[in-house]
Chain A
Amino acid sequence: MILFTLRRLIGFAVTLLLAALVIFYLLDLLPGDPAQFILGINATPESVARLRTQMGLDAPAHERFIGWLWGMVQGDFGISYTQRAPVAQLIWDRLGVTLPLSVFAMVISIVVGLPLGIVAARRRGKALDTGIMVLAQTGVAIPNFWFGMLLTLLFAVTLRWLPPGGFTPWHEDSVAAFRGLILPSLALALPQASILARVMRTALVDVTGQDFIRTARAKGLTMGEAVWRHGVRNALLPVLTILGLQFAFLVAGTIIVENVFYLPGLGRLIFTAISERDLILVRGATIILIIAVTATMLLTDIAYAIVDPRLRERSAP
């Protein structure tokens, strides 16, 4: 188990380094100059050149890459070009929105998706099963932003129960902050819950036909007890994999949802930073996201290995 974990950790570190390389050099190739962007359409070439020098943009690429990497190792992500503030601080402030948003969405999708999947599996072939699966299919197909808009129209514009968007900082009014995240979390959770319901149903249906369920029934458990005690636990394995993968989708979804609900989250920060060519900010934020996604996958792998000892014997790819 220790060896397995170690191997995974090394793989994790290599992935990050490669990602840093790719992010840095790809963004360097993007046309567009942050200095030109800041000074706009009437600036003289001299002013732009001066600002480039002030921002340290005229150093060779490999020097800037090494500097950036070395800074990050020490926790210094640099200073944003356009906002003139530390990148780490800017990202940290945004995580206060994006992290709870992703977690709420994850929780909602688990709390809604898994029970629905279990119910559908238990009522396999019945109307309820068909109904749930049709809904799940629809849930996957509906785009986040459109569902978000529908929620806004109903709960914010018509009923006026919840704000149509925006965010009050936690320390100012935590109730208002929470209320601001309800609709976006729902919009973000819908496709996730649908996927989870389908995966849970399929996994449970697979498990129900297996020997250990028959053994459990033979020991006198009812079908419901057998499924609940032995089936669900085994069916959770594929669900766990999906959950790990879903995190990446959630992160992608936040960009869209944060735009629809004008939330000051990480997704929107990256979106704006790209358009303004604030490359140092884009790089910092992207690396943070990649760390989050790869770390989640690493933890999923390890959790999987703990749940299913057979996996530890396999060599890690």
Chain B
Amino acid sequence: MGKVLQALGLAVALTGAMAGVAAAQPTEVRIGVALEPPALDPTAGAAEAIDIVVYQNIFEGLTRIDQNGAVQPGLASEWTISEDGLTYTFKLRDGVTFHDGTAFDAEDVKFTFDRILGPDSVNAHKEFYEPIETVTVIDPLTVEMKLSRPIGMFLFDLGRGDAVIVAPESADNNANEPIGTGPFAFLQWDKGSRVILEAYGPYWGEPAHLTKATYLFIGDTATMTNALLAGDVDGTNNFATEALAVFEGNPQFKVLVGTTEGETILSTNNKKPPFDDIKVRQAMAHAIDRQAIIDGATYGYGVPIGSHFAPHNRYYVDLTGTYPHDIEKAKALLAEAGLPDGFSATLKLPPVAYARLSGQIIASQFAEVGIKLELINVEWAQWLEDVYANHDFDLTVISHVEPFDIGNYANPDYYFGYDNPEFQALIETLNGTTDDAKRKELAVQAQTILANDAVNGYLFELAQTGVWNAKLEGMWQNSPIEGLVLRDIRWVQ
């Protein structure tokens, strides 16, 4: 063993001699992210990992969503909306170029939306843009869109990663060589390892502070912790809550706790007995102790929710008191539903820590009122097929991370199996309303219906917990849309 130690010592001495700890360049940043995107085209895939790298960095839309979730001008500097809410006329910015040097103009906008709506489209959110009837090029810097019906969220939807503007010259290669108009251009992708972006010189807008940004793909929490501590990565936008304590109180790091759009819910198969009985769902709602779940599954970082809506949204209404935690009441409701001894059901859990932990806690809470849950761990692909596509489930725990996705409840074929004509009419009205005060009123009504019907078990809003080098500024604290926007990130000495 002495020899082993000697050999080790020698190896270390040799490499130690070669190693100089690379001082972080004050204009470059290395970011650790848990998942590697399968491809880099946000208009042809739903993975959040894609938007984390490209959204607002490489690609831009006609509008962009800011840190507070508000719509700002993007590649369109201004727009007018007709009285009936059906015709949108966009003025485009002049002098914008794609990273391959080709000019951006109205033709690219038309191409982008024709591609989304075309017969071969594999856009993950085609339904958002389905109401676009025609896209007309008025002149190189003016585009007119005609809708078949008014959409209250249209400007927001144009700011999503799914609707970023791509060019006919490069769109086919965006999966592996993304070409956009954003402040950062794609430099290289060492698959399995990292993606490197560099600042794009001829960018039309406010130039970014950074010259280079590298995304490193580190899936393991302990490894990410070591990489941060060793200074090999400068930060991560979302770090596992169970290990946050390592960085809190460490002056070399800052922990940014913010909100996300992730409503974490106990999704319930409303079409399947006994869950088709509202009394059973109400009993389940009373059996849930949200704070215990938040403490156990997110180490206290989640925010309780009582309906399917993000607490930081200005239309939010707190409905957590609709069915307070009350074991006796839950038992009484089960008895009323003809199930005095409770019942048995399965709970399918996808491979994310918050879901697996929540599932175990919910199982113990339900056991107190006589509901016996069998926990079944599934992989993502299996979850998507069994639960989401085939509706083959009783209960599952999942975070719905799409912004403003309450409209899913208006789709009777959605995996919740919730079919309520009153709610469907309400959402249709909401979608067609552009007046803010009216929209808020309708959104509050929608939230209240879902809470009262106890469609799903509403648990908590996921928090975004970033860990960054203390000398970095300008990261988004909240995540109102999927992405990790580099535009404002800079080093301050």
Residues of chain A touching chain B, judged by Cβ–Cβ distance below 8 Å, are: 30-34, 36-45, 47-48, 50-51, 54, 82-85, 90, 93-94, 97, 111-112, 115-116, 131-132, 135, 149, 152-153, 155-157, 159-167, 169, 175, 179, 182, 186, 193, 259-265, 268-269, 272, 275-278
Contact assessment for A43 and B46 in the assembled complex, using a CB-CB cutoff below 8 Å: yes
Q: How far does the alpha carbon of A164 sit from the alpha carbon of B19 in the complex, in Å? A: 13
Identify 23 residue pairs between A and B in the complex whose beta-carbon atoms are under 8 Å apart, listed by A's number.
Answer: A36-B384, A37-B384, A38-B124, A40-B47, A40-B384, A44-B127, A47-B121, A83-B38, A83-B39, A90-B191, A94-B191, A112-B4, A157-B230, A161-B15, A165-B232, A166-B194, A182-B15, A259-B223, A261-B223, A262-B216, A263-B193, A264-B190, A275-B351
Closest A residue to B399 by beta carbon equals: A41
Asked if B400 CB lies within 8 Å of chain A CBs, one says yes
Q: How far is the CA of A36 from the CA of B44 in the complex (A)?
A: 12
CB-defined contacts of B125 to chain A, threshold 8 Å: 42-43
Chain B residues near A161: list those with CB within 8 A: 12, 15-16, 19
Stretch at the interface among B144-152, B205-213, B374-382: B374-382
**B367 in the interface, Cβ–Cβ < 8 Å?**
no
Residue B244, interface by CB 8 Å: no
Interface residues of B in 9-67 (CB under 8 A from A): 11-12, 15-16, 18-19, 21, 36, 38-39, 44-47
Q: In this assembly, does B488 line the interface, its C-beta being within 8 Å of a C-beta of chain A?
A: no
Residues of B194-242 contacting chain A, CB below 8 A: 194, 216-220, 222-223, 226-227, 229-232
Contacts of B379 in A (CB 8 A): 32, 275
Distance to closest chain A CB from B105 (angstroms): 28
Instruction: Flag if A42 contacts B402 (CB, 8 Å).
Output: yes
A201 to chain B, nearest CB (A): 14
Given A160-B21, A264-B193, A39 and B219 contact (CB-CB distance below 8 Å)? no
Q: Which residue of A lies closest to B398 (CB)?
A: A41
Number of A-B contacts (CB under 8 A): 192
Query: Quick one: which of A33, A34, A48, A111 contacts B7, CB cutoff 8 A?
Result: A111
CB distance from A55 to the nearest CB of B (A): 10
Q: How far is the CA of A125 from the CA of B388 in the complex (A)?
A: 64
In contact, B1 and A135 (Cβ under 8 angstroms): yes
Interface flag for B80 (CB, 8 Å): no
**A112-B7, A157-B230 known; A277-B381 Cβ under 8 A:** yes
Q: Is B123 an interface residue (CB 8 A)?
A: yes
Find chain B residues with CB under 8 A from A265 CB.
192
Establish whether residues A47 and B219, one from each chain, have CB atoms under 8 Å apart when the complex forms: no
Q: With an 8 A cutoff between CB atoms, is B81 at the interface?
A: no
In the complex, the answer to whether A40 meets B122 with C-beta atoms within 8 Å is: no
Beyond the given pairs A157-B230, A167-B193, 20 more chain A to chain B contacts, judged by CB atoms under 8 angstroms and listed by A's residue number, are: A31-B386, A32-B382, A32-B384, A34-B381, A36-B381, A36-B385, A36-B388, A39-B46, A47-B123, A84-B175, A93-B192, A97-B192, A116-B4, A175-B18, A182-B15, A259-B220, A262-B217, A262-B220, A272-B36, A275-B379
Closest beta carbon of chain B to A122's beta carbon, Å: 14
Closest to A166 in B: B216
A132 to B11, CA, bound (A): 21
Q: Is B439's CB within 8 Å of the partner chain A?
A: no
Whether B381 lies near A179 (C-beta < 8 A) is no
Residues of A within 8 A of B21 (CB): 160
- Chain B residues whose C-beta falls within 8 Å of the C-beta of A82 in the assembled complex: 38-39
Tell me which of B11, B120, B216, B229 contacts A54 (CB under 8 A): B120
Q: State the Cβ distance, A313 to closest chain B Cβ, in Å.
A: 40
Q: How far is the CA of A54 from the CA of B45 in the complex (A)?
A: 14
Q: Is the CB of A112 within 8 A of B3?
A: yes
| Chain A residue contacts of B190, Cβ below 8 A | 167, 169, 264
- Report the separation of the CA atoms of residues A278 and B227 in the bound assembly, to the nearest whole angstrom: 29
Instruction: Return the contact of B380 from the options A165, A269, A275 (Cβ within 8 A).
Output: A275
> A-facing mask of B115-153, CB < 8 A → 1, else 0?
000001111111100000000000000000000000000
In the complex, residue of chain B having the shortest beta-carbon distance to the beta carbon of A258? B192
B313 within 8 A of A: no
Collect the chain A residues with CB atoms within 8 Å of residue B328's CB: none
> Across the interface, do A166 and B46 meet the contact criterion of CB distance under 8 Å?
no
Distance, CA A39 to CA B42, complexed state (A): 10
* A269-B1 contact, Cβ under 8 Å, with A32-B384, A165-B227: no
Tell me if A40 and B175 are in contact (CB < 8 A). no
Chain A residues contacting B120 (CB-CB under 8 Å) are 50, 54
- B382 A160 Cβ-Cβ under 8 A: no
Q: Are A262 and B191 in contact (CB under 8 A)?
A: no
With contact pairs A32-B382, A152-B226, A167-B193 given, residues A160 and B231 touching in the complex (Cβ less than 8 Å): yes
Q: Which residue of B lies closest to A273 (CB)?
A: B38
Q: How far does the Cβ of B467 sit from chain A's closest Cβ, in whole Å?
A: 15
The reply to whether A269 and B232 form a contact with Cβ atoms under 8 Å apart is no
Asked whether A38 and B45 contact (CB < 8 A) given A51-B122, A155-B12, A262-B193, the answer is: yes
Q: In the bound complex, what is the Cα–Cα distance between A115 and B120 (angstroms)?
A: 64
Taken together as a complex, chains A and B put the C-alpha atoms of A93 and B4 apart, in Å, by 32
Contacts of A85 in B (CB 8 A): 175-176, 191
**A90 neighbours in B (Cβ, 8 Å):** 191
Provide the residues of chain B in CB contact with A153, threshold 8 Å. Answer: 226
Q: Which 4 interchain pairs have the tightest Cβ spacing?
A: A40-B46, A264-B192, A32-B381, A82-B38
**B405 sits at the interface (CB 8 A):** yes
**How far, in whole Å, are A261 and B126 apart by their CA atoms in the complex?**
38
Residue from A45, A116, A163, A260 in contact with B230 in the complex, judged by beta carbons closer than 8 Å: A163
Cβ of B408 under 8 Å from chain A:
yes
Q: Is B389 in the interface zone, CB < 8 Å from A?
A: yes
Residues of B within 8 A of A40 (CB): 45-47, 124, 384
Residues on A with C-beta less than 8 A from B15 are 161-162, 179, 182
Q: Which residues of A contact B18 (CB under 8 A)?
A: 175, 179
Residue in contact with B382 in the complex, picked from A31, A47, A263, CB distance below 8 Å? A31
Also in contact, A48 and B222, with CB within 8 A (given A42-B125, A135-B1, A276-B38):
no
Q: Which residues from chain B contact A37 at a C-beta distance below 8 Å? A: 380-381, 384
Question: Contact: A162 with B19, CB < 8 Å?
Answer: yes
Minimal beta-carbon separation of A121 from chain B (angstroms):
15
Residues of B within 8 A of A54 (CB): 120, 122
B220 to chain A: closest residue by CB? A259
Picked from A33, A111, A165, A261, the residue with its CB within 8 Å of the CB of B381 is A33
From residue A153, how far is it (CB to closest CB) to chain B in Å?
7
Task: Check if A179 sits within 8 Å of B19, measured CB to CB.
Answer: yes
Q: Given A38-B46, A40-B47, verify A164-B226 contact (CB < 8 Å).
A: yes
Closest to A89 in B: B191
Say how far B119's CB is from chain A's closest CB, in angstroms.
8
A residues in contact with B400, CB < 8 Å: 41
Nearest residue in A to B47 (C-beta to C-beta)? A40
A29 to B156, CA, bound (A): 41
- Taking CB atoms, residues of chain A closer than 8 Å to B45 are 38-40
CB–CB B219/A262 < 8 A: yes
Contact check, B232 vs A41: say whether CB atoms are below 8 A apart: no
Q: How many angstroms between the C-alpha atoms of A92 and B8 in the bound complex?
A: 31
Q: Closest approach, in angstroms, between the C-beta of A185 and any C-beta of chain B? A: 10
Q: How far is the CA of A97 from the CA of B36 in the complex (A)?
A: 18
- Closest chain B residue to A268, Cβ basis: B192
B3-A42 in contact (CB<8A): no
Closest CB of chain B to A92's CB: distance in Å? Answer: 11
Q: In angstroms, how far is the closest chain A Cβ from the Cβ of B63?
A: 20
Q: Is the CB of B16 within 8 A of A84?
A: no
Complex-state Cα separation, A36 to B333, whole angstroms? 38
